[in-house]
A and B are shown apart, each in its own frame.
Chain A
Amino acid sequence: MYDSGKIIPGLIIFVLFITFPIWYNHGDAGAVPQPELPKNVKECVLPITEMRSDHMQLLNEWRDEVLRTGDRSFDVKIGDKMYQKSLMNTCMQCHTSKKKFCDKCHTYASVKPYCWDCHLAPVE
């Protein structure tokens, strides 16, 4: 190989450069987000682990049932009370702060759900 003295160090520098984010953070994912949970309520619609992983699917199902199927019944059970399927009128009544709840994880995971383009976040 011609110019191996330049090419090999060049390649090494290149690889180091593009893997910079990996070795600079050396496997540290940063501080885990701590969304603020409602204080006076202990239960949610589903167990907390399921809510963590599947709340987006749940919201989509609610949306389709309410809007397209027209099923607006109060069939969501939280504790011993029944609620309607609604982001604004059910979820955000307990989770009263979008900034301290939704945004905490969404910012960390760099996801930008378009819910709030139309739906109204609680006043804070």
Chain B
Amino acid sequence: MPKLPLEGIRIIDSTYVFALPYAGGQLADLGAEVIKIEGPGRPDITRSGGLYGSFPDNITGEDWWNRPSTYNLLNRGKRSLTLDMGSERGRDLFREMVSVSDIVMENFTPRVMRNWGLDYPNLKKINPDIILVSNTGYGHGSGPYSGYPAQATTQEGTHGHCWVTGYVDDEPSKAGRSFVDFLSTWSAVFAIGAALRYRKNTGKGQWVDISMYQAGAMFLSEYLMDSIVNNREGTRIGNRHPYYSPQGCYPTQGEDHWIVISVTDETEWSNLCKAMGQPELETHQDFSNVLERKKNHDALDQIISTWTAKNDRYDLMHLLQSEGIAAAPVLDGKDVHFDPHYKHRNFLERVEFPEHRNMGTRILMGRPYKFSNTPMKILNPAPEFGEGNEYYLKELLGIDNDRYDSLVQDAIISTIPITGDPSPTPDPKEALERHQIATWDPDYKDRLQIS
């Protein structure tokens, strides 16, 4: 079996929250040695829990910081090293790590690494062919917003996503969850593959400067072009298609069950009418061509909804797809675990945690790509806080026991976060009543066949 593509590559992952930590997790799947670096007093916020970082089986646990769901998804396959970057001793150790690594990833606001003397020109002095990947809200440089604090949730407005997302003619709407973060995640993975190749051919490193804001704007290129050349601002058209009709999201049998349908030509329209048992609609004056159907989209949506409401969402998908019409059920965070296509693709992987972590087996998403000659999987669970301290500092950097002990003594390193408290997962029954969650299966472990 061929080696994984990034075997032998060591990455210092000094990043927090979602975007680049997830890139680190992806790079670990691809074979890299990824070392997550956190301060003893600055554990990643995804370690704190809460509803969307749930503790397994709602048990906070003694080592709560190692247990939340999203922390464990994003940081799978990594090692963990703690270093107090606020202290000169911590930064010295960081520099020593840089000298034996290939890549550094960081997502501090632009001034931080500069003030620490750890910006690209300085890192290059330590390791001339180092590849540095920086991710910030607005990007480095002299722009007016470069120093502004930012997170995906507020940037969705700034980079234009909200302006184009929303129900028909309604107010702007956000994504349900951080969205632009993941454009940075895969921008970083892309950049790293290219920068490694460049280094191999030229011996030179690279500084990759990713701005979430800029990436978000890029994904709206056609709106930007339409504005540049046609002076148009775009509109919110909900679930409809800019040229075809009908397209929408329609209720089906079952609580909060929906199907999306997208008709893209006259043959499909004819087939939809027949499938609905209303062949006469095809030539009805209100719907006989795409322009009429767009004009009378509301009425058409009513007709389609009346039909879909009496049917099962999966039956509808198979029926319509067999007629050549694009259709799919709206799957939620539970549904994907039981869908035959997801199952066939092995997209959701079973990750077994070591006995002493009391987390059992959990199902985590793998990667959105398959390589024909190089099978991949999540190689290891996310690391416990500081589990790699001894290995990296004593074995790799050769620090003696006395110096190591003094680092522990002075909280430059630690295996327990010295600040922070867990945010317990809300009681699911109460969360249901408050509509914080949509559904709850107390027997989910049986259903998933995990222990």
Same assembly: no
